């Protein structure tokens, strides 16, 4: 992989869809949409808009395993994101998320350490009755990129 590739990852969770664009080992853009989580049609529109604006070389989405805890609507949204990426004139990769860390909060801390741009979005560990922090989805999208290319990402881009 060359250092000039623009890698765009999409992640979906209940009530939100996010993207992270990485270029030369740096986060160039990140964003979140509640509207895109309303259904496949909205997710396709969001993905098409981001791909058009960001002009990535590679788009990464999550490959859902049967053991995934994602709900039916989120699964449909991820399928819609992937469909848009596959129709675009660029490389589309679906990758299963592995679990290298104890939990997603530990993963987020590790990613924020390597990508200082994400430090303001680092969520506090929640109590069991609290909802999942919305910003955790940025770390999920970035982890898809690192799962694809290995981490640290810089070892593959320099």
Within-domain flag for 47: yes
pLDDT value for 3: 59
User: Which pTM value belongs to this model?
Assistant: 0.87
Q: Rounded to an integer, what distance in angstroms lies between the CA atom of residue 34 and that of residue 42?
A: 10
Domains identified in the chain, total number: 1
The answer to whether residue 50 scores a pLDDT higher than 90 is: yes
Within-domain flag for 19: yes
The answer to whether residue 44 scores a pLDDT higher than 80 is: yes
Average pLDDT for the chain: 86
Provide the CATH number for the domain around residue 127: 3.30.420.10
11 Cα distance to chain centroid: 4
Within-domain flag for 35: yes
The answer to whether residue 155 scores a pLDDT higher than 50 is: no
- The CB density around residue 125, as the number of other CB atoms within 10 Å, is 12
Domain that holds residue 31: 6-157
Within-domain flag for 1: no
Buried b (16+ CB within 10 A) or exposed e, 85-117: beebeeebbbbebeeeeeebbebbebbbeebeb
Mean pLDDT score, 20-39: 94
Within-domain flag for 20: yes
Q: Across-strand partners of 59?
A: 8, 92
Mean pLDDT score, 146-153: 74
């Amino acid at each position: 992989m060359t250092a000039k590739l623009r890698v765009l990852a999409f992640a979906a969770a209940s009530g939100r869809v996010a993207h992270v664009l990485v270029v030369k080992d740096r986060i160039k853009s990140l964003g979140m949409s509640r509207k895109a989580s309303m259904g496949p049609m909205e997710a396709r529109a969001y993905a098409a808009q981001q791909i058009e604006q960001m002009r990535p070389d590679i788009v990464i989405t999550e490959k859902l395993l049967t053991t995934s805890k994602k709900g039916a609507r989120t699964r449909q949204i991820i399928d819609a994101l992937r469909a848009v990426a596959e129709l675009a004139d660029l490389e589309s990769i679906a990758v299963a998320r592995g679990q290298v860390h104890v939990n997603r909060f530990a993963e987020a801390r590790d990613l924020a350490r390597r990508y200082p741009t994400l430090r303001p979005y680092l969520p506090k560990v929640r109590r069991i009755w609290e909802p999942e922090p919305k910003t955790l989805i940025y770390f999920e999208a970035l982890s898809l990129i690192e799962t694809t290319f290995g981490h640290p990402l810089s070892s593959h881009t320099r």
